[in-house]
Protein backbone atom coordinates (compact mmCIF):
# COMPACT_ATOMS: atom_id res chain seq x y z
CA UNK A 1 0.00 0.00 0.00
CA UNK A 2 1.05 3.59 -0.60
CA UNK A 3 0.67 5.41 2.70
CA UNK A 4 1.01 9.12 3.45
CA UNK A 5 1.68 9.49 7.19
CA UNK A 6 1.01 13.06 8.36
CA UNK A 7 2.45 14.15 11.70
CA UNK A 8 3.33 17.32 13.58
CA UNK A 9 6.13 15.61 15.56
CA UNK A 10 8.77 13.03 14.76
CA UNK A 11 11.42 11.57 17.05
CA UNK A 12 14.35 12.41 17.08
CA UNK A 13 13.70 15.69 15.22
CA UNK A 14 10.91 17.21 17.30
CA UNK A 15 9.05 15.77 20.27
CA UNK A 16 6.52 16.86 22.86
CA UNK A 17 4.78 13.51 23.44
CA UNK A 18 4.07 9.96 22.37
CA UNK A 19 3.07 10.94 18.81
CA UNK A 20 6.74 11.69 18.08
CA UNK A 21 7.75 8.16 19.14
CA UNK A 22 5.05 6.59 16.98
CA UNK A 23 6.01 8.73 13.96
CA UNK A 24 9.66 7.82 14.51
CA UNK A 25 9.03 4.05 14.52
CA UNK A 26 5.78 3.01 12.85
CA UNK A 27 6.57 4.19 9.26
CA UNK A 28 9.74 2.08 9.17
CA UNK A 29 7.90 -0.94 10.60
CA UNK A 30 5.26 -0.50 7.87
CA UNK A 31 7.98 -0.28 5.26
CA UNK A 32 9.51 -3.50 6.61
CA UNK A 33 6.14 -5.07 5.72
CA UNK A 34 6.63 -3.93 2.10
CA UNK A 35 4.52 -0.79 2.16
CA UNK A 36 5.53 2.43 0.41
CA UNK A 37 5.35 5.02 3.22
CA UNK A 38 6.00 8.77 2.98
CA UNK A 39 5.95 11.06 5.99
CA UNK A 40 4.82 14.70 5.89
CA UNK A 41 6.07 16.99 8.69
CA UNK A 42 6.29 20.80 9.01
CA UNK A 43 9.83 22.11 8.40
CA UNK A 44 10.21 23.71 11.80
CA UNK A 45 13.29 25.96 11.88
CA UNK A 46 15.34 23.61 14.02
CA UNK A 47 14.67 20.67 11.72
CA UNK A 48 15.99 22.36 8.60
CA UNK A 49 19.26 23.03 10.44
CA UNK A 50 19.54 19.35 11.29
CA UNK A 51 18.75 18.12 7.77
CA UNK A 52 20.89 20.28 5.49
CA UNK A 53 20.59 17.70 2.67
CA UNK A 54 16.82 18.28 2.31
CA UNK A 55 16.19 19.47 -1.27
CA UNK A 56 13.16 21.35 -2.66
CA UNK A 57 11.05 19.08 -4.88
CA UNK A 58 7.91 21.12 -5.49
CA UNK A 59 6.15 24.39 -4.74
CA UNK A 60 2.55 25.34 -4.14
CA UNK A 61 0.34 28.12 -2.83
CA UNK A 62 -1.48 27.47 0.45
CA UNK A 63 -3.85 30.03 1.96
CA UNK A 64 -2.29 32.69 -0.28
CA UNK A 65 1.29 31.82 0.73
CA UNK A 66 3.97 30.36 -1.55
CA UNK A 67 5.43 27.28 0.18
CA UNK A 68 7.89 24.55 -0.80
CA UNK A 69 8.17 20.84 -0.09
CA UNK A 70 11.66 19.64 0.80
CA UNK A 71 12.58 15.99 0.44
CA UNK A 72 14.99 13.95 2.55
CA UNK A 73 14.86 10.76 4.62
CA UNK A 74 13.83 10.46 8.25
CA UNK A 75 16.88 10.05 10.53
CA UNK A 76 17.95 6.45 11.08
CA UNK A 77 15.47 5.09 8.53
CA UNK A 78 14.90 4.73 4.79
CA UNK A 79 11.58 6.56 4.93
CA UNK A 80 11.09 9.43 2.45
CA UNK A 81 10.36 12.52 4.51
CA UNK A 82 8.55 15.51 3.02
CA UNK A 83 9.03 18.73 4.95
CA UNK A 84 6.48 21.49 4.47
CA UNK A 85 8.73 24.52 4.19
CA UNK A 86 6.69 27.62 5.00
CA UNK A 87 8.98 30.00 6.92
CA UNK A 88 6.12 32.33 7.77
CA UNK A 89 4.45 29.54 9.76
CA UNK A 90 7.15 27.14 10.85
CA UNK A 91 10.49 28.96 11.09
CA UNK A 92 10.16 29.46 14.84
CA UNK A 93 12.23 28.19 17.74
CA UNK A 94 11.07 25.96 20.58
CA UNK A 95 7.84 24.08 21.03
CA UNK A 96 5.88 23.37 17.81
CA UNK A 97 2.59 24.58 19.27
CA UNK A 98 3.42 27.07 22.01
CA UNK A 99 5.27 30.34 22.38
CA UNK A 100 7.95 30.64 25.06
CA UNK A 101 5.38 31.93 27.57
CA UNK A 102 3.40 28.68 27.19
CA UNK A 103 0.47 30.14 25.23
CA UNK A 104 -0.42 28.76 21.77
CA UNK A 105 0.96 30.51 18.68
CA UNK A 106 -1.72 32.99 17.54
CA UNK A 107 -1.88 31.48 14.05
CA UNK A 108 -1.99 27.74 14.84
CA UNK A 109 -5.18 27.48 12.77
CA UNK A 110 -3.33 28.69 9.65
CA UNK A 111 -0.17 26.73 10.41
CA UNK A 112 -1.88 23.37 10.74
CA UNK A 113 -4.62 24.24 8.27
CA UNK A 114 -1.81 24.67 5.73
CA UNK A 115 -0.34 21.30 6.78
CA UNK A 116 -3.73 19.69 6.11
CA UNK A 117 -4.10 21.30 2.69
CA UNK A 118 -0.57 20.22 1.77
CA UNK A 119 -1.45 16.66 2.85
CA UNK A 120 -4.51 16.64 0.60
CA UNK A 121 -2.56 17.87 -2.45
CA UNK A 122 0.36 15.48 -1.90
CA UNK A 123 -1.89 12.48 -1.28
CA UNK A 124 -3.80 13.15 -4.50
CA UNK A 125 -0.69 13.61 -6.64
CA UNK A 126 -1.62 17.18 -7.46
CA UNK A 127 1.77 18.81 -7.06
CA UNK A 128 3.81 16.94 -9.64
CA UNK A 129 5.56 14.38 -7.42
CA UNK A 130 4.24 11.39 -9.33
CA UNK A 131 3.00 9.55 -6.27
CA UNK A 132 -0.57 8.95 -5.18
CA UNK A 133 -1.56 7.61 -1.77
CA UNK A 134 -3.91 4.66 -1.20
CA UNK A 135 -4.11 5.58 2.49
CA UNK A 136 -3.69 8.87 4.33
CA UNK A 137 -2.86 8.23 7.98
CA UNK A 138 -3.59 11.35 10.07
CA UNK A 139 -2.54 11.84 13.68
CA UNK A 140 -4.14 14.10 16.30
CA UNK A 141 -5.82 17.43 15.64
CA UNK A 142 -2.97 18.94 13.64
CA UNK A 143 -3.87 16.78 10.64
CA UNK A 144 -7.57 16.38 11.53
CA UNK A 145 -8.92 18.43 8.65
CA UNK A 146 -7.52 16.06 6.02
CA UNK A 147 -10.29 13.41 6.25
CA UNK A 148 -12.90 16.20 6.14
CA UNK A 149 -11.34 17.80 3.07
CA UNK A 150 -11.00 14.47 1.26
CA UNK A 151 -14.46 13.15 2.15
CA UNK A 152 -16.52 14.78 -0.65
CA UNK A 153 -14.04 13.77 -3.37
CA UNK A 154 -15.07 10.87 -5.59
CA UNK A 155 -11.67 9.44 -6.35
CA UNK A 156 -9.80 9.63 -3.11
CA UNK A 157 -7.48 7.70 -0.82
CA UNK A 158 -8.93 6.03 2.26
CA UNK A 159 -8.35 7.87 5.53
CA UNK A 160 -7.29 6.67 8.98
CA UNK A 161 -7.23 8.98 12.00
CA UNK A 162 -5.25 8.04 15.13
CA UNK A 163 -6.00 9.64 18.50
CA UNK A 164 -2.84 9.94 20.58
CA UNK A 165 -4.27 12.52 22.96
CA UNK A 166 -7.96 13.32 22.95
CA UNK A 167 -7.51 16.21 25.38
CA UNK A 168 -5.95 18.40 22.66
CA UNK A 169 -8.57 19.18 20.04
CA UNK A 170 -7.49 22.18 17.96
CA UNK A 171 -10.41 24.50 18.74
CA UNK A 172 -10.56 27.89 16.94
CA UNK A 173 -13.10 30.67 16.35
CA UNK A 174 -15.74 30.23 13.67
CA UNK A 175 -13.95 32.87 11.56
CA UNK A 176 -11.14 30.36 10.94
CA UNK A 177 -13.47 28.46 8.59
CA UNK A 178 -13.19 31.05 5.83
CA UNK A 179 -9.61 31.99 6.73
CA UNK A 180 -8.63 28.36 6.07
CA UNK A 181 -10.68 28.27 2.83
CA UNK A 182 -12.76 25.38 4.16
CA UNK A 183 -16.03 24.55 2.38
CA UNK A 184 -19.03 26.01 4.24
CA UNK A 185 -20.72 22.60 3.93
CA UNK A 186 -18.37 21.29 6.65
CA UNK A 187 -19.85 23.72 9.19
CA UNK A 188 -22.48 21.48 10.80
CA UNK A 189 -22.86 19.95 14.28
CA UNK A 190 -22.13 16.58 12.66
CA UNK A 191 -19.09 18.12 10.95
CA UNK A 192 -16.43 20.57 12.13
CA UNK A 193 -18.62 22.70 14.39
CA UNK A 194 -18.12 22.20 18.12
CA UNK A 195 -20.17 24.51 20.35
CA UNK A 196 -20.05 27.24 17.69
CA UNK A 197 -16.30 26.86 17.25
CA UNK A 198 -14.15 25.14 14.65
CA UNK A 199 -12.75 21.79 15.83
CA UNK A 200 -9.84 20.27 13.91
CA UNK A 201 -10.08 16.94 15.73
CA UNK A 202 -13.69 16.51 14.65
CA UNK A 203 -12.47 16.51 11.06
CA UNK A 204 -10.78 13.22 11.89
CA UNK A 205 -13.41 11.79 14.21
CA UNK A 206 -16.41 12.58 12.00
CA UNK A 207 -14.97 11.95 8.53
CA UNK A 208 -12.14 9.38 8.66
CA UNK A 209 -12.95 5.99 7.21
CA UNK A 210 -11.37 4.39 10.30
CA UNK A 211 -10.48 5.87 13.68
CA UNK A 212 -8.18 4.29 16.18
CA UNK A 213 -6.47 5.06 19.42
CA UNK A 214 -3.36 3.59 20.97
CA UNK A 215 -4.88 0.81 23.06
CA UNK A 216 -8.09 -1.25 22.84
CA UNK A 217 -9.19 -0.38 26.40
CA UNK A 218 -8.71 3.36 25.83
CA UNK A 219 -10.79 3.01 22.63
CA UNK A 220 -13.65 1.82 24.85
CA UNK A 221 -13.03 4.32 27.66
CA UNK A 222 -13.19 7.39 25.41
CA UNK A 223 -16.77 6.50 24.56
CA UNK A 224 -17.73 7.39 28.15
CA UNK A 225 -18.23 10.83 29.71
CA UNK A 226 -15.38 10.22 32.16
CA UNK A 227 -12.72 9.87 29.45
CA UNK A 228 -14.38 11.32 26.34
CA UNK A 229 -13.44 15.03 26.73
CA UNK A 230 -16.88 16.05 25.43
CA UNK A 231 -16.55 13.92 22.28
CA UNK A 232 -17.91 10.66 23.72
CA UNK A 233 -21.23 11.03 21.85
CA UNK A 234 -19.55 11.30 18.46
CA UNK A 235 -17.17 8.47 19.33
CA UNK A 236 -20.07 6.24 20.36
CA UNK A 237 -21.84 7.14 17.13
CA UNK A 238 -18.77 5.99 15.19
CA UNK A 239 -18.00 3.00 17.40
CA UNK A 240 -18.26 0.57 14.46
CA UNK A 241 -15.27 2.37 12.91
CA UNK A 242 -13.29 2.85 16.14
CA UNK A 243 -10.65 0.43 17.44
CA UNK A 244 -7.44 0.33 19.44
CA UNK A 245 -3.93 -0.69 18.43
CA UNK A 246 -1.22 -0.77 21.06
CA UNK A 247 1.92 1.19 20.39
CA UNK A 248 5.15 -0.75 20.20
CA UNK A 249 8.44 0.16 21.83
CA UNK A 250 11.91 0.44 20.38
CA UNK A 251 13.09 -3.05 21.32
CA UNK A 252 16.67 -2.34 20.19
CA UNK A 253 17.04 0.72 22.37
CA UNK A 254 15.25 -0.95 25.30
CA UNK A 255 17.08 -4.26 25.46
CA UNK A 256 18.63 -5.39 28.77
CA UNK A 257 20.92 -7.82 26.96
CA UNK A 258 22.57 -5.04 25.02
CA UNK A 259 21.76 -1.71 26.70
CA UNK A 260 24.90 0.46 26.78
CA UNK A 261 23.34 2.82 29.33
CA UNK A 262 23.34 0.31 32.19
CA UNK A 263 26.37 -1.09 34.02
CA UNK A 264 25.37 -4.77 33.77
CA UNK A 265 23.57 -6.46 30.88
CA UNK A 266 21.35 -9.48 31.62
CA UNK A 267 18.58 -11.60 30.21
CA UNK A 268 15.72 -13.75 31.50
CA UNK A 269 18.15 -16.58 32.31
CA UNK A 270 20.61 -14.40 34.22
CA UNK A 271 18.28 -12.25 36.29
CA UNK A 272 20.62 -12.48 39.28
CA UNK A 273 22.87 -10.08 37.37
CA UNK A 274 20.16 -7.41 37.66
CA UNK A 275 21.41 -6.88 41.23
CA UNK A 276 24.48 -5.03 39.98
CA UNK A 277 22.15 -2.48 38.38
CA UNK A 278 20.15 -2.24 41.59
CA UNK A 279 23.33 -1.43 43.50
CA UNK A 280 24.34 1.18 40.91
CA UNK A 281 20.88 2.74 41.07
CA UNK A 282 20.92 2.89 44.87
CA UNK A 283 24.34 4.53 44.78
CA UNK A 284 23.34 6.98 42.06
CA UNK A 285 20.34 8.09 44.13
CA UNK A 286 22.25 8.15 47.43
CA UNK A 287 20.29 5.29 49.01
CA UNK A 288 21.93 2.59 51.14
CA UNK A 289 23.05 -0.17 48.77
CA UNK A 290 21.01 -2.98 50.32
CA UNK A 291 20.47 -5.91 48.07
CA UNK A 292 17.56 -7.36 50.08
CA UNK A 293 15.59 -4.13 50.37
CA UNK A 294 12.67 -3.84 47.92
CA UNK A 295 13.39 -0.99 45.49
CA UNK A 296 10.39 0.59 43.73
CA UNK A 297 10.53 3.26 41.01
CA UNK A 298 8.48 5.90 39.25
CA UNK A 299 9.43 7.68 36.02
CA UNK A 300 7.21 10.19 34.30
CA UNK A 301 5.74 13.63 34.01
CA UNK A 302 4.73 14.85 37.47
CA UNK A 303 1.16 15.74 36.49
CA UNK A 304 -2.26 14.65 37.83
CA UNK A 305 -2.73 12.17 34.93
CA UNK A 306 0.12 10.02 36.21
CA UNK A 307 -1.43 9.47 39.66
CA UNK A 308 1.44 11.10 41.60
CA UNK A 309 -1.10 12.27 44.18
CA UNK A 310 -2.07 8.64 44.86
CA UNK A 311 1.54 7.76 45.59
CA UNK A 312 1.95 10.83 47.82
CA UNK A 313 -1.16 9.93 49.79
CA UNK A 314 -0.07 6.29 50.16
CA UNK A 315 3.46 7.20 51.33
CA UNK A 316 2.77 7.79 55.06
CA UNK A 317 1.26 4.29 55.42
CA UNK A 318 3.94 2.72 53.22
CA UNK A 319 6.75 4.28 55.18
CA UNK A 320 5.87 2.14 58.19
CA UNK A 321 7.50 -0.70 56.24
CA UNK A 322 11.06 -1.20 55.02
CA UNK A 323 11.42 -0.42 51.31
CA UNK A 324 13.12 2.08 49.03
CA UNK A 325 11.71 4.16 46.22
CA UNK A 326 13.24 6.39 43.53
CA UNK A 327 11.42 9.03 41.51
CA UNK A 328 12.60 10.46 38.18
CA UNK A 329 10.42 13.19 36.73
CA UNK A 330 9.52 16.81 36.41
CA UNK A 331 6.29 18.74 36.16
CA UNK A 332 4.06 20.49 38.64
CA UNK A 333 6.06 22.33 41.29
CA UNK A 334 3.62 21.18 43.99
CA UNK A 335 4.40 17.54 43.25
CA UNK A 336 8.11 18.27 42.93
CA UNK A 337 8.15 19.96 46.35
CA UNK A 338 6.11 17.22 48.03
CA UNK A 339 8.40 14.49 46.73
CA UNK A 340 11.50 16.41 47.79
CA UNK A 341 9.94 16.91 51.23
CA UNK A 342 9.50 13.14 51.67
CA UNK A 343 13.02 12.45 50.44
CA UNK A 344 14.42 14.88 53.03
CA UNK A 345 12.39 13.27 55.81
CA UNK A 346 13.30 9.70 54.82
CA UNK A 347 16.67 9.95 53.05
CA UNK A 348 17.36 6.21 53.42
CA UNK A 349 14.09 5.27 51.76
CA UNK A 350 12.97 7.92 49.28
CA UNK A 351 15.18 9.56 46.65
CA UNK A 352 14.12 12.00 43.97
CA UNK A 353 15.73 13.25 40.77
CA UNK A 354 13.86 16.21 39.31
CA UNK A 355 14.47 16.57 35.57
CA UNK A 356 14.30 14.72 32.28
CA UNK A 357 17.16 12.26 31.90
CA UNK A 358 16.84 9.52 29.30
CA UNK A 359 20.08 7.73 30.22
CA UNK A 360 19.11 7.66 33.89
CA UNK A 361 15.69 6.25 32.99
CA UNK A 362 17.45 3.14 31.59
CA UNK A 363 19.30 2.63 34.89
CA UNK A 364 16.05 3.05 36.82
CA UNK A 365 14.29 0.45 34.68
CA UNK A 366 17.21 -1.97 34.98
CA UNK A 367 17.85 -1.47 38.70
CA UNK A 368 14.41 -1.34 40.30
CA UNK A 369 12.47 -4.39 41.49
CA UNK A 370 9.04 -2.88 40.90
CA UNK A 371 7.67 0.00 38.81
CA UNK A 372 4.69 2.09 39.92
CA UNK A 373 2.33 3.48 37.29
CA UNK A 374 -0.97 4.46 38.94
CA UNK A 375 -2.11 6.73 36.04
CA UNK A 376 -5.71 8.02 36.23
CA UNK A 377 -5.94 7.49 32.47
CA UNK A 378 -3.31 6.22 30.07
CA UNK A 379 -3.95 6.04 26.30
CA UNK A 380 -1.09 3.53 25.94
CA UNK A 381 1.91 4.21 28.21
CA UNK A 382 5.45 3.11 27.55
CA UNK A 383 7.14 2.67 30.89
CA UNK A 384 5.11 -0.37 31.87
CA UNK A 385 6.34 -2.04 28.68
CA UNK A 386 9.98 -1.03 29.26
CA UNK A 387 9.63 -2.37 32.82
CA UNK A 388 8.39 -5.78 31.69
CA UNK A 389 11.22 -6.02 29.18
CA UNK A 390 13.69 -5.32 32.00
CA UNK A 391 12.21 -7.82 34.47
CA UNK A 392 10.98 -4.94 36.65
CA UNK A 393 7.50 -5.89 37.73
CA UNK A 394 4.91 -3.14 37.06
CA UNK A 395 2.17 -2.17 39.52
CA UNK A 396 -0.50 -0.35 37.50
CA UNK A 397 -3.98 1.12 37.64
CA UNK A 398 -6.11 -1.03 35.32
CA UNK A 399 -6.92 1.62 32.71
CA UNK A 400 -6.20 2.21 29.01
CA UNK A 401 -2.97 0.70 27.73
CA UNK A 402 -1.99 -0.36 31.24
CA UNK A 403 -4.97 -2.74 31.32
CA UNK A 404 -3.98 -4.14 27.92
CA UNK A 405 -0.28 -4.72 28.56
CA UNK A 406 -0.05 -5.95 32.18
CA UNK A 407 -1.46 -9.34 33.18
CA UNK A 408 -2.50 -9.21 36.83
CA UNK A 409 -1.01 -11.76 39.22
CA UNK A 410 -4.23 -13.12 40.66
CA UNK A 411 -3.69 -16.52 42.30
CA UNK A 412 -5.71 -18.46 39.70
CA UNK A 413 -3.77 -16.91 36.80
CA UNK A 414 -0.18 -16.79 37.94
CA UNK A 415 1.00 -18.63 34.86
CA UNK A 416 0.56 -15.74 32.44
CA UNK A 417 0.92 -12.95 35.01
CA UNK A 418 3.42 -10.14 34.41
CA UNK A 419 2.52 -7.57 37.08
CA UNK A 420 -0.04 -6.29 39.54
CA UNK A 421 -3.12 -4.24 38.57
CA UNK A 422 -5.72 -2.50 40.69
CA UNK A 423 -9.14 -1.17 39.73
CA UNK A 424 -9.87 1.92 41.76
CA UNK A 425 -7.73 5.02 41.30
CA UNK A 426 -7.39 5.66 45.02
CA UNK A 427 -4.52 5.52 47.54
CA UNK A 428 -6.03 2.57 49.43
CA UNK A 429 -6.21 0.41 46.31
CA UNK A 430 -2.66 1.39 45.37
CA UNK A 431 -1.44 0.52 48.85
CA UNK A 432 -3.13 -2.85 48.69
CA UNK A 433 -1.62 -3.57 45.27
CA UNK A 434 1.86 -2.68 46.54
CA UNK A 435 1.44 -4.99 49.53
CA UNK A 436 0.29 -7.74 47.21
CA UNK A 437 3.46 -7.23 45.17
CA UNK A 438 5.61 -7.36 48.30
CA UNK A 439 4.06 -10.70 49.29
CA UNK A 440 4.85 -12.11 45.85
CA UNK A 441 8.39 -10.75 46.03
CA UNK A 442 8.89 -12.83 49.15
CA UNK A 443 8.26 -15.98 47.08
CA UNK A 444 11.37 -16.00 44.86
CA UNK A 445 10.18 -18.67 42.41
CA UNK A 446 6.83 -16.90 41.85
CA UNK A 447 8.61 -13.57 41.43
CA UNK A 448 11.07 -14.99 38.88
CA UNK A 449 8.10 -16.36 36.95
CA UNK A 450 6.47 -12.92 36.87
CA UNK A 451 9.70 -11.32 35.68
CA UNK A 452 10.29 -13.92 32.99
CA UNK A 453 6.72 -13.80 31.67
CA UNK A 454 7.04 -10.02 31.28
CA UNK A 455 10.40 -10.33 29.54
CA UNK A 456 8.95 -12.85 27.08
CA UNK A 457 6.18 -10.53 25.84
CA UNK A 458 6.22 -9.11 22.32
CA UNK A 459 6.08 -5.31 22.48
CA UNK A 460 7.65 -4.79 19.05
CA UNK A 461 6.49 -2.33 16.42
CA UNK A 462 6.35 -5.25 14.01
CA UNK A 463 3.26 -6.54 15.84
CA UNK A 464 1.59 -3.09 15.81
CA UNK A 465 2.46 -2.48 12.15
CA UNK A 466 0.70 -5.70 11.14
CA UNK A 467 -2.43 -4.47 12.92
CA UNK A 468 -2.19 -1.09 11.18
CA UNK A 469 -1.97 -2.86 7.80
CA UNK A 470 -5.19 -4.67 8.69
CA UNK A 471 -6.80 -1.33 9.65
CA UNK A 472 -5.73 0.21 6.33
CA UNK A 473 -7.31 -2.70 4.47
CA UNK A 474 -10.54 -2.15 6.40
CA UNK A 475 -10.44 1.57 5.57
CA UNK A 476 -9.99 0.76 1.88
CA UNK A 477 -12.93 -1.63 1.90
CA UNK A 478 -15.06 1.00 3.67
CA UNK A 479 -14.74 3.27 0.65
CA UNK A 480 -17.89 2.87 -1.41
CA UNK A 481 -17.40 1.55 -4.99
CA UNK A 482 -18.01 5.03 -6.46
CA UNK A 483 -15.35 6.64 -4.35
CA UNK A 484 -12.76 3.85 -4.26
CA UNK A 485 -9.74 4.37 -6.43
In the complex, the residues that contact ligand ADP under the rule CB under 6 A are 17-18, 299-301, 328-330, 356-358, 361, 380-383
The answer for 391, left when phi > 0, alpha when psi is -120 to 50, beta otherwise, is left
Distance in Å, CB of 402 to ligand ADP, minimum: 10
Query: For ligand ADP, which is the closer residue by CB, 21 or 134?
Result: 21
Query: For ligand ADP, which is the closer residue by CB, 37 or 396?
Result: 396
Distance in Å, CB of 288 to ligand ADP, minimum: 24
Query: For ligand ADP, which is the closer residue by CB, 364 or 434?
Result: 364
Distance in Å, CB of 40 to ligand ADP, minimum: 22
d(Cα 303, Cα 357) in Å, to the nearest integer? Answer: 17
Is-contact 434 307, C-beta < 8 A? no
d(Cα 388, Cα 70) in Å, to the nearest integer? Answer: 40
d(Cα 220, Cα 223) in Å, to the nearest integer? Answer: 6
Is-contact 70 90, C-beta < 8 A? no
d(Cα 243, Cα 404) in Å, to the nearest integer? Answer: 13
Distance in Å, CB of 413 to ligand ADP, minimum: 25
Query: For ligand ADP, which is the closer residue by CB, 72 or 343?
Result: 343
Query: For ligand ADP, which is the closer residue by CB, 89 or 218?
Result: 218
Distance in Å, CB of 50 to ligand ADP, minimum: 21
Distance in Å, CB of 357 to ligand ADP, minimum: 5
Query: For ligand ADP, which is the closer residue by CB, 3 or 29?
Result: 29
Query: For ligand ADP, which is the closer residue by CB, 122 or 406?
Result: 406
Distance in Å, CB of 250 to ligand ADP, minimum: 9
d(Cα 200, Cα 116) in Å, to the nearest integer? Answer: 10
Print the SS3 string covering 282-339: HHHCCCCCCCCCCEEEEEEEECHHHCHHHHHHHHHHHCCCCCEEEEEEEECHHHHHHH
- What is the separation of C-alpha 479 from the centre of its chain, rounded to a whole number of angstroms? 28
Is-contact 326 351, C-beta < 8 A? yes
Q: How many CB atoms lie within 10 A of CB 411?
A: 7
d(Cα 161, Cα 116) in Å, to the nearest integer? Answer: 13
Distance in Å, CB of 480 to ligand ADP, minimum: 37
DSSP letter at 10?
Answer: B
Q: Which phi and psi (to 5°) does residue 266 adopt?
A: -160, 170
Q: Which phi and psi (to 5°) does residue 320 adopt?
A: -75, -10
d(Cα 379, Cα 402) in Å, to the nearest integer? Answer: 8
Query: For ligand ADP, which is the closer residue by CB, 159 or 343?
Result: 343
Distance in Å, CB of 86 to ligand ADP, minimum: 28
DSSP calls for 256-289: TTT-TTSSS---TT-GGGHHHHHHHHHHHTT---
Q: How many CB atoms lie within 10 A of CB 374?
A: 26
Q: Which of 467, 300, 316 is nearest to 396 (CA)?
A: 300
Query: For ligand ADP, which is the closer residue by CB, 220 or 361?
Result: 361
Query: For ligand ADP, which is the closer residue by CB, 3 or 364?
Result: 364
Distance in Å, CB of 17 to ligand ADP, minimum: 5
Query: For ligand ADP, which is the closer residue by CB, 113 or 394?
Result: 394
127, 132, 136, 137: CA torsion to nearest 10:
-100
Distance in Å, CB of 67 to ligand ADP, minimum: 30
Distance in Å, CB of 439 to ligand ADP, minimum: 27
Strands of the sheet containing 193-194, edge to edge, are 171-172, 197-199, 193-194
Query: For ligand ADP, which is the closer residue by CB, 133 or 373?
Result: 373
Amino acid sequence: MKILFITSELYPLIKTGGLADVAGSLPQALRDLDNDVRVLLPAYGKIKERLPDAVPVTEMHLLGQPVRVLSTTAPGSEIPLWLLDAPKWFDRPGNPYLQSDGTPWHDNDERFGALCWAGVLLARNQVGLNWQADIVHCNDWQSGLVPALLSPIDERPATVFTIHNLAYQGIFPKSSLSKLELPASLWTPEGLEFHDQLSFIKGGLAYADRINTVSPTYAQEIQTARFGCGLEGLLRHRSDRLSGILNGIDTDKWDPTNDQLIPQNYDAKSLEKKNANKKALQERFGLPAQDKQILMAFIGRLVPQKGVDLILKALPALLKHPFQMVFLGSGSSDYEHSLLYWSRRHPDQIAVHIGYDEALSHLVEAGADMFLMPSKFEPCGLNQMFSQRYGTVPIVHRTGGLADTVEDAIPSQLKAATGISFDLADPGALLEAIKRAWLLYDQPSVWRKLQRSGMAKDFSWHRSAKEYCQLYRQALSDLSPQSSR
